[in-house]
A and B are shown apart, each in its own frame.
Chain A
Amino acid sequence: MEHFPEAWGRPRNDIYGPYDHSYLQTTGPKAHTQSPAVTGTSVIGVKFNGGVAIASDNLASYGSLARFTDVKRLRVFGDSAIVGFGGDVSDMQHIDRLLNSIDIRENYSSDGNLLNAKNLHTYLSKVFYKRRSEFNPLWNHILVAGFDGDGKPFLSSADLLGTTFSAPHLATGFGAHLAIPILRRLFPEDTPLENISKEQAVEALRECIKVLWYRDARSLDKFSIATVTKDGIEVKEDEKVEAQSWAFAETIRGYGAQVN
């Protein structure tokens, strides 16, 4: 019989060892976010003749759980840029608020000086870099699509470390592994932009989303796709992967129930 009432209901010291008080410690190093919580994965983007196309599925995962299945991870900024978010969804919401307040500020004056996608990307990469330098990163990997100051199609990425990277086609998350090779085969590096039409670009993105749905366990068959051209932004947020065929799954060996 345990004679100390304060110990009643607690794990027994003689079996579990004494209580580890370090869990309640308030001193010691201060820790910020160590890992993201609810996350989105792939965002993929392709430049084409006269604009940029960008796509992402509508999933937000909680670990391996498909927690939210109707999350819009493509955010429109003004009438000339789209930001696609991979990574932590609450950090995405925070950045979305930042974008909102910038948009309001930019529209105080109607003089026509507006931030383009390139300006926006520069700004966001600085935000990421500042936060990681404070050891309190915003856990995202983003793509920014739109136009640069010369009116040329612009596509660039920034991540939680403040790293920036630009290429004619880009992807975040699993898409970086699965979609990029497909896009590189479709549009080899030396393809001039003039040879890629908007329809081709959009078709390629749909194909990539389908492959991701087939092979990435943290993906979804519901997705959003958007294009930025001189005529404006077109966003479709409730797309579905069409013409699915899981026949290839039969040939996969080494997983699931079958042994050989």
Chain B
Amino acid sequence: MFRNNYDNDAVTFSPQGRIFQVEYAQEAVKQGSVVVGLVNKTHAVLVGLKRNAEELSSYQKKIIEIDSHMGIAIAGLASDARVLSNFMKQQSLGSKMTYGRPIPLERIVTQIGDRAQTNTQQYGKRPYGVGLLVAGVDETGPHLFEFQPSGLTHEMLACAIGARSQMARTYLERHLDEFSDCSRDELINHGLRALKETLSQDKELTVDNTSVGVVGLAPEGSKSKIQSFKLYEGQETLPLLEALERSETSGEAGGEGSMEVDS
């Protein structure tokens, strides 16, 4: 049988210039349940599908608040995500402490990217087995970033990673033009719909398996400049799911174009 000799560690290039260990780590991301992120002009939204190991066990956390202006959604090895999120929390706190400024999103994403890169160039280390969506606001408005085990990071308008995430991405691409000018609630709704696209026939979104995180700029005239990161879980997601359902029933009647009549 053919055996690949070039995939034993992250410090060996294949003759094509590929690093298989890193590519395998990307596969770990695809094993995780799906998370979706998207931005408009004022807000950044993360939605995630939580999984439980068995009927009676709790659900695995998918969205983590890093600071009041930023949160992440994870797909892949949750323990690797915890290492990264702890690091991000420290960096964010450090920025607030020394400069009195919420850390710019690009800055912190670059930092975790650089950390991840180190794991792909040194023997005895392994790449992180997790992908992240980082959503937040800073001085320049709302942002969404994708982070991959290779250390690659991209700023996105919308993104989905994890199992069956291709379906969500297809939805996002199709509706991309609607995002930038829609409202906060509509943005959440788009996120949930993209998430729903990835579900297999027998599954549906419930208050138990759905997580939503929202952060954004505060409306004009408010005391504070930002609307702090808000995580919706459990019963709190009910109104969001109901809004989703309403939009779908009205959407079926009017076709895709008129789906945004509610909320």
Contact = CB atoms under 8 A, between A and B. Distances in A.
A22 interface: no
A113 B99 contact: no
Contacts of B139: 112-114, 149
B100 A119 contact: yes
Interface residues of B, number: 12
Contacts of A122: 98-101
A114 B139 CA distance: 8
Say whether chain A's binding surface is mostly helix, strand, loop, or mixed: loop
Interface string A102-142: 00000001011111001110110010000000000000000
A111 B106 CA distance: 8
B104 interface: yes
A142 to B, nearest CB: 16
A111 B141 CA distance: 11
B208 to A, nearest CB: 38
A183 to B, nearest CB: 27
Interface in B80-109: 97-101, 104, 106-107
A111 B100 contact: no
A209 B98 CA distance: 33
A185 B95 CA distance: 39
Q: Among the interface residues A111, A114, A115, A126, which one has the most CB atoms of the partner chain B within 10 A?
A: A111
A120 B101 CA distance: 10
B100 A112 contact: no
B106 A115 contact: no
Contacts of B107: 109, 113
Contact of B99 (A111, A119, A150): A119
A118 B100 contact: yes
Nearest to A118: B100
A115 B99 contact: yes
Interface in B133-158: 138-140
Given A111-B104, A113-B104, A113-B107, A123 B98 contact: yes
A135 to B, nearest CB: 21
A115 B101 contact: yes
Contacts of B138: 113
Nearest to A121: B100
Contacts of A113: 104, 106-107, 138-140
B225 interface: yes
Contacts of A114: 139
Contacts of A115: 99, 101
B21 to A, nearest CB: 30
Given A112-B140, A113-B139, A113-B140, A123 B99 contact: yes
Given A113-B107, A119-B99, A122-B100, 8 more contacts: A109-B104, A109-B106, A113-B104, A115-B101, A118-B100, A119-B101, A149-B139, A149-B225
13 contacts: A109-B104, A109-B107, A111-B104, A111-B106, A112-B139, A113-B139, A114-B139, A115-B99, A115-B101, A123-B98, A126-B97, A149-B139, A150-B225
